[in-house]
Amino acid sequence: MGWTQDRLAKIKEWEKECKWENFVDENLINDIIEKTQNPSKEKVLAVIKKAKSNANTGKMLSLEDTAILLNNTDKELDEEIFKAATYIKKEIYGDRIVLFSPFYIASPCVNDCKYCGFRASNSSLSKKILKFDEIRSEVEALLDSGQKRLIAVYGEHPKSDYEFIAKSVREIYSIKKDKSEIRRVNINAAPMFEDEYKVIKNEGIGTYQVFQETYHRKTYESVHPQNTLKGQYNWRLFSLHRGLNAGLEDVALGVLIGLYDHRFEILAMLSHAYSLEKYFGISAHTMSFPRIKATSNSQKFNPYIISDEEFLKVIAIIRLMCPFTGTILTAREEPEFRDIALKKCGISQTDAGTNIGIGGYSQTKVKNDLTNQQFKIGDNRSIDEYILSIIKDGRLPSFCTSCYREGRTGENFMPLAKNATIKYLCIPNGILTFKEYIRDYASDEVKDIGENVIIPKYLGILKENLPKVAQKVEAMLKDIENGGKDAHI
């Protein structure tokens, strides 16, 4: 048997023995969506109040409460949802935005997902796996731009299997440029068996992301051919249960917005978070909500595409629903949309300086060449341009990787987010990593606003709340001025 057939057979065996309970109750979700139609103003306000009070209790909203928000059509109340999202995010993480860059390493894929440029049947895309010297050039280019955090992305293929992923992560961590290095590599790749996750974990990965794409079984089957690995719904549904069982510490959920009714998808993603809590005592580290974008040879998914206005609301509702979970908005979206979403929706992480072409950071430099990348990118700003827009709005850009390196992951991280004390680590580490960026990479404008407005502003917040930590950070800032690297607490 070939690699794919052999793996498919093993997956089907696994599915028969799956010990976890299905957590996507389609009838229940549909009933809840139905019975919460046109919620009254009082009901919506009561849920918003509850969400705010959850900011430091570690509780998530119920499916019903979340459906009430998703079904709200009163524009005035939308504004209350945005205010609450901003409040909750600030209360838990402070006003910092963690930045990362996606790093596309391998595009060949044995699957045939209808929405994806990497799909096996798409002959208009040239498929490529980076060699190790090319990985090195890419990482050096990323380091030259000031980046310290990556999400490495792979298609599912025998040549980019778990052993290749493990080796490529080891290679990334080994690369030094001007004494700088990548400090955290998250992964976005296909679901694995537990022994495979263990091999990858040994390389010191950060978060493992598997997006369910759609939790709606019929839609799932219609966009993922049944004879492919990706076609196996349950295998994917429990991929992160397997990961946590194998010892991964941080896992991330996601839905591809545009395949099915977004209200169903968000409620199912919440059910997923509850299931992880139930079995492992920790929820998702982050949630992603990519909207479908054009690919080479694109197919259309019109029925469930949502407007910018609706999408902003959905992102804010995710913050209210799972207050302590990181939310990620990517450069799939246009700059104007991203800037508004950062202001209003309580987002905690975004990519910056994004180029998803294979070899895009060092070799091609051509952006949005759909014959060499998975889908179209909307925000092509450089890291420095992006940081400038963040700091002009008074927010703190952060390249922090401290929790990961200090062992504050999984069950050691969650309580700090759930009781809203993590901000007292996020803010100091944001200040320190931004200072290092300013010293080594910033344009004059970023340097000016950073040194004179942003760092004093956030140091001031620390002085007011944690004077001893503020003193320590001031000393560390001096050390960075004198050439110190990688300061964190």
Nearest to ligand SF4 of 111, 327 (CB atom): 111
DSSP string, 51-108: HHHGGGTTPPPPHHHHHHHHT---HHHHHHHHHHHHHHHHHHH-SEEEEEEEEEEE--
Asked if 109 is part of the footprint of ligand SF4 (rule: CB under 6 A), the reply reads yes
Q: How far apart are CA 210 and CA 49, in angstroms?
A: 32
Please name the amino acid found at residue 247: G
At residue 379, φ and ψ (nearest 5 deg) are: -115, 105
**Ranges within 136-165 binding ligand SF4 (CB under 6 A):** 155-156
Q: Select the binding partner of residue 256 from ligand SF4, ligand SAM, none (C-beta < 5 to 8 A, by kind).
A: ligand SAM
What tokens does 173 get?
């961590």
**What mask of x and - would describe binding to ligand SAM in positions 296 to 335, judged by CB under 6 A?**
------------------------------------x---
Stretch that binds ligand SF4, among 105-113, 175-183, 416-424, 450-458 (CB under 6 A): 105-113
H-run or E-run covering 200: helix 194-201
Asked if 408 is part of the footprint of ligand SF4 (rule: CB under 6 A), the reply reads no
Please name the amino acid found at residue 327: T
The burial class, CB within 10 Å (0-12 / 13-18 / 19+), for 240 is buried
Exactly one of 48, 55, 116, 487 binds ligand SF4 (CB under 6 A); which one? Answer: 116
**Ranges within 355-414 binding ligand SAM (CB under 6 A):** 374-375
- Closest approach of ligand SF4 to the CB of residue 264, in Å: 20
Q: CA dist 106 to 119, 127, 335, Å?
A: 12, 8, 27
Whether residue 95 contacts residue 393, with contact meaning beta carbons closer than 8 Å, is answered with: no
Please name the amino acid found at residue 159: K
**Ranges within 181-220 binding ligand SAM (CB under 6 A):** 188-190, 210-211, 213
Place of tokens 């104007």: 336
Q: Select the binding partner of residue 295 from ligand SAM, ligand SF4, none (C-beta < 5 to 8 A, by kind).
A: ligand SAM
Nearest to ligand SAM of 117, 430 (CB atom): 117
Binding site for ligand SF4 (CB under 6 A): 109, 111, 113, 116, 118-119, 155-156, 230
Q: Which residues bind ligand SAM (CB under 6 A)?
A: 109, 115-116, 153, 155-156, 188-190, 210-211, 213, 230, 254, 256, 290, 292-293, 295, 332, 374-375
